Structure 1
């Protein structure tokens, strides 16, 4: 199926993003192929974010939604995606910079894929390159097996372009995983998310990142061990339940993991470790680990699940 520039909606979630917002909006508006619409969901900013957005009021492609109360970035992105009207959707953070040909390049790789994503380079608060790409931190690759999302993944939303039908398969978005993790997992259940090996985003790192390149949420208290364990159990159960019946093998593996995550007896721990070991090259594909370290990781899963 072929698409055109008029098929693309860009969705951005904002919150107190006045410092970098204009640069990002300009980089979107200056794309070699222009999106049909830019939907911005503001989550109750108290700085000049909304005022900056309103300076673009003469551009009728920009649609602003202001939340009556703070709902968080996951639900803000969901709100924007559900209001998108185009066949394709690209997500945007409020503080990055897009390469001028980002949308054009991703569009050229869509073909029959449900989703594609690219590499990104890290920049600092001043916009200076940190000389490190996302692919230098963890492996960026095509996710064509949902087991690759069993414990994590490395396909960031800011680098994605996907079909609107993916949103319909994802909604409602859970809040125990990030919106882009959920998009990627569901995409991996329906054909996969194709990797485009090209840097198309300058991904800004600063102290106010909601989630930075190290994937840790800044400015939030670290959850307790018991909370992390409970989240891990809920996440695995959720992946099992979402995996479609059309993937019986993967669904069975996720079911085994979901069951053994809930149990603490030796037999369950052993079964969990053996399952990780059997599928270690798939589950750990995104991690830059040697064969030896992958084995050690599997052994660790005998003792803990909040890794």
Structure 2
């Protein structure tokens, strides 16, 4: 969270999700903040900027250059009707503003994943922006909560998450 906003010359509150086992590329925040500031009305509506990831093993050796390609995701489907059934935002790539924090919090107890909830809230009430460059090295190991799955392995997991999401109490 950028706490001392006056040092940056603007009055935006910016936050990111950060997983302790993933590695941000050096330019991640700079590139995301630059893209965020290009969005018209970025300070008055919920905005989430996310990126692709490089999939790496526990030793940071490359597994796949693109998480999106590795999982067979269709990023052009990054719109609310599609996000209701399939999350395309990985939390450790997300940068978002105070308006999204206000709109998305508190995350419902029955929400499948916090990053999915933030993505749906951004698309429903503001803007979701994708940067195609991998800005995070997404470390895969035996303790990943979800992890990267090649397309043929990800479909069964996706069906289970959809069933869980559709069972949310309203």
TM range (shorter): 0.7 to 0.9
Per chain length, whose mean CA-contact separation is higher, i.e. which structure has more relative contact order (CA < 8 Å, sep 6+)? 2
Once superposed, what is the RMSD of the aligned Cα atoms? 2.7
Correspondence 1:93 to 2:19: yes
From 80, 99, 109, give the equivalent of 1:165: 99
Residue 179 (str. 1) matches residue 114 (str. 2)? yes
Task: Decide which moves more: 198-207 or 145-154.
Answer: 145-154
Q: Is residue 2:38 matched to residue 1:125? A: no
Q: CA shift at 1:103, angstroms?
A: 0.1
Are 2:124 and 1:189 aligned?
yes
Matches within 5 A, 1:255-274: none
Aligned length: 145
Distance 2:93 2:75 in 1: 11
> Is the CA contact 1:119–1:140 (under 8 Å) kept in the aligned structure 2?
no
CA contact (8 A) 2:111 2:165 kept: no
> Which residue in 2 is equivalent to 1:210?
145
Secondary structure of the residue that 1:183 maps to in structure 2? helix
TM-score (norm 1): 0.43
1:149 aligns with 2:83: yes
Query: Which digits, 9 at most, give the CA deviation of each residue in 1:139-185, with x for residues without a partner?
Result: 23473x32121211211111011102211111221233100000000
- Report the 3-state secondary structure (helix = DSSP H, G, I; strand = E; otherwise coil) of the residue aligned with 2:36: coil
Q: TM-score, normalised by structure 2?
A: 0.75
Is there any run of 5+ residues in structure 2 with no aligned partner, and where? 5-11, 151-156
Q: Give unpaired runs (5+ residues) of structure 1.
A: 1-8, 10-34, 38-85, 216-221, 239-307
Q: SS state of the match for residue 200, structure 1?
A: strand
The CA distance in 2 between the partners of 1:171 and 1:104, in whole Å, is: 25
Residues 201-247 of structure 1: per-residue CA shift (max 9 Å, x gap): 000000011221239xxxxxx9xx8xx85x34334x65xxxxxxxxx
- Pair member with larger Rg: 1
- C-alpha separation between the residues in 2 aligned to 1:234 and 1:142? 23
Asked if the contact 2:3–2:13 (Cα under 8 Å) also holds between the matched residues in 1, the reply is no
Q: Which runs of 4+ in 1 moved over 6 A?
A: none
Map 1:1-307 onto structure 2 (within 5 A). 9=1, 36=3, 87-111=13-37, 112=39, 113=42, 114-136=47-69, 137=71, 138-141=73-76, 143=78, 145-174=79-108, 175-214=110-149, 229=163, 231-235=164-168, 238=170
CA contact (8 A) 1:122 1:129 kept: yes
Q: Is the 8 A contact 2:50 2:93 kept in 1?
A: yes
